[in-house]
């Protein structure tokens, strides 16, 4: 059986998806990776065969052009831009995917749950497929706050009423993608219960790389939903240059706003001012490709500013991570026992930040309250209270014991009725 992994063209989705695909390949399965042409480097770094999706519609260079405006947006504007962009890409992918799957000889497919209605293709083709949540899974049940919001978990009648109001408020954000899905379903004559929020999710398996212990206490998920743990093995990523000789040997405060919303200079300058000349730590700022490092103000003498950083290696040396609360960065911190100060900007980041606060693995600075004093105060709180580090270390143990990558691979094998061919080799991957 040849399994096609189809990913959203964003690093926060590509990194875990290529890792899971490589794990399946290591276990002896025939795997191919597909996404927009600009993502080919991610597949090759992971040692995967690559088949471009929508090559004519999105030629080389398209992803940076599409995502550049998003780098300077935040909040509602960024969220609306993100989902409209997803709808525009989906409109092309949903037409091209059947041909792509046929051309690469795929027998089964693994799809990103955030690309919700792309699953209509394997549904129509009668092809087995599995849904994977590389970001927070979308929960439209109203039993918990929608992940677009930073509301705390509240199962009381008032909390559930708040959740329902959030769903109503967010409905227009999802409308453009849903319109694409409905139009395609009508065109091919596929009947879908559009009142069921899980209608296009795989019935075989729906995997989230979020550990169960990191989520709110929920029990309403459909039976095929499974928490696994992070899709990480510390390998299969592009090499990144870094001035290692400039490290002072002090514990690091590592700060990154991720790969999408990284064009907001005031955010990085505020973080730099908040850290200041704090004794005993060294600030590393990873600012992405949009800004010039010279634009960042209020830097301490020892601070290092880079456009791209070897995040996993730096987190190994970090006392604290200041993060946008992307799920992958949060899980990479917890895998290494690093507490966080979260500054969520948009999309599912408020939901991740709410879980960081819920598990007390860090603190949160709401974007509208971002100030150097707020950053300074949260750093003091996290570094001054050992409970945050202890909770982060507890998650390090949980993640190591769970081995989410191996668990996810086994669930894919169960869903597709496969047996591992090289299990001993797979178990030797670094974690």
Residue 257's nearest CA partner among 280, 230, 284 is 284
pLDDT at 429: 43
pLDDT at 425: 53
Q: Is residue 180 part of a domain?
A: yes
Asked if residue 188 and residue 141 are part of one domain, the reply reads: yes
Q: Is residue 155 part of a domain?
A: yes
Report the domain count for the chain.
2
Asked if residue 49 and residue 173 are part of one domain, the reply reads: yes
Q: Residues, the chain, total?
A: 431
- Return d(Cα 152, Cα 267) in angstroms, integer: 24
Structural domain harbouring 308: 244-399
Residue 377 phi, psi (nearest 5): -65, -40
Token readout for 88 is: 């525009």
CATH number for the domain that contains residue 88: 3.40.50.2000
Asked if residue 162 and residue 101 are part of one domain, the reply reads: yes
Which positions ≥6 away from 115 have C-beta within 8 Å? 6, 8, 86, 90, 93
pLDDT at 381: 98
Q: Is residue 431 part of a domain?
A: no
Check: pTM over 0.85? Answer yes or no.
yes
Asked if residue 372 and residue 277 are part of one domain, the reply reads: yes
Quick one: CA torsion of 315, 319, 324, 325, rounded to 10 degrees? 80
Asked if residue 415 and residue 326 are part of one domain, the reply reads: no
Helix (H, G, I), strand (E, B) or coil at 428: coil
Asked if residue 410 and residue 389 are part of one domain, the reply reads: no
Asked if residue 360 and residue 229 are part of one domain, the reply reads: no
pLDDT at 236: 73
Asked if residue 171 and residue 317 are part of one domain, the reply reads: no
pLDDT at 410: 97
Q: Is residue 37 part of a domain?
A: yes
Asked if residue 248 and residue 225 are part of one domain, the reply reads: no
Token readout for 345 is: 């900007």
pLDDT less than 50: residues of the chain: 426-431
Asked if residue 169 and residue 263 are part of one domain, the reply reads: no
Angle at 129 between CA 128 and CA 134, to 5 degrees: 170
pLDDT at 428: 44
Q: Is residue 44 part of a domain?
A: yes
Residue 283, strand partner residues: 253
Alpha helices, H only, 30-156: 40-45, 62-67, 75-103, 120-125
pLDDT at 22: 97
Which positions ≥6 away from 260 have C-beta within 8 Å? 10, 12, 67, 70, 71, 82
pLDDT at 262: 78
pLDDT at 423: 63
CA atoms within 13 A on the CB side of 98: 11
Asked if residue 132 and residue 268 are part of one domain, the reply reads: no
Asked if residue 408 and residue 393 are part of one domain, the reply reads: no
pLDDT at 68: 83
pLDDT at 219: 80
Token readout for 45 is: 């770094």
What does DSSP say about strands 30-35 and 2-6: parallel, antiparallel, or unpaired? parallel
pLDDT tens readout for residues 272-321: 999 999 999 999 999 998 899 999 999 999 999 999 999 999 999 999 99
């Amino acid at each position: 059986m040849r399994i096609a992994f189809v990913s959203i063209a964003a690093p926060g989705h590509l990194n875990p998806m290529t890792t899971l695909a490589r794990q399946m390949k290591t276990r002896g399965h025939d795997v191919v990776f597909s996404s927009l042409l600009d993502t080919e480097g991610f597949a090759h770094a992971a040692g995967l065969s690559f088949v471009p999706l929508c090559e004519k519609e999105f030629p080389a260079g398209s992803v940076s052009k599409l995502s550049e405006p998003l780098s300077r947006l935040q909040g509602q504007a960024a969220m609306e831009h993100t989902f409209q962009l997803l709808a525009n890409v989906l409109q092309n992918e949903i037409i091209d995917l059947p041909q792509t799957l046929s051309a690469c000889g795929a027998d089964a497919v693994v799809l990103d749950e955030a690309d919700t209605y792309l699953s209509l293709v394997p549904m129509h083709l009668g092809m087995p497929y599995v849904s994977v949540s590389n970001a927070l899974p979308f929960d439209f049940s109203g039993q918990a706050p929608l992940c677009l919001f930073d509301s705390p978990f509240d199962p009381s009648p008032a909390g559930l009423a708040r959740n329902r109001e959030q769903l109503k408020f967010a409905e227009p954000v999802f409308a453009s993608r849903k319109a694409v899905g409905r139009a395609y379903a009508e065109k091919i004559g596929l009947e879908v219960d559009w009142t069921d929020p899980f209608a296009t999710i795989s019935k075989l398996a729906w995997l989230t790389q979020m550990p169960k212990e990191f989520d709110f206490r929920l029990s309403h998920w459909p039976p095929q939903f499974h928490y696994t743990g992070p899709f990480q093995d510390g390998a299969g990523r592009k090499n990144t240059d870094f001035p290692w000789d400039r490290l002072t040997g002090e514990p690091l405060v590592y700060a990154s706003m991720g790969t999408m919303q990284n064009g907001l200079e005031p955010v990085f300058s505020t973080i730099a001012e908040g850290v200041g000349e704090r004794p005993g730590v060294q600030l590393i700022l990873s600012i992405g490709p949009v800004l010039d490092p010279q634009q960042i103000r209020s830097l301490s003498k020892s601070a290092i500013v880079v456009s791209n950083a070897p995040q996993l290696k730096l987190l190994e040396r970090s006392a604290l991570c200041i993060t946008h609360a992307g799920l992958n960065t949060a899980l990479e911190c917890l895998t290494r026992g690093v507490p966080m100060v979260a500054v969520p900007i948009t999309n599912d980041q408020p939901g991740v930040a709410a879980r960081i606060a819920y598990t007390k693995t860090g603190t949160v600075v709401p974007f509208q309250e971002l100030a150097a004093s707020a950053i300074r105060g949260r750093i003091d709180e996290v570094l001054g209270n050992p409970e945050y580090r202890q909770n982060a270390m507890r998650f390090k143990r949980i993640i190591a014991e769970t081995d989410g990558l191996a668990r996810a691979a086994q669930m894919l094998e169960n869903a597709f009725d496969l047996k591992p061919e090289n299990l001993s080799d797979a178990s030797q991957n670094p974690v």
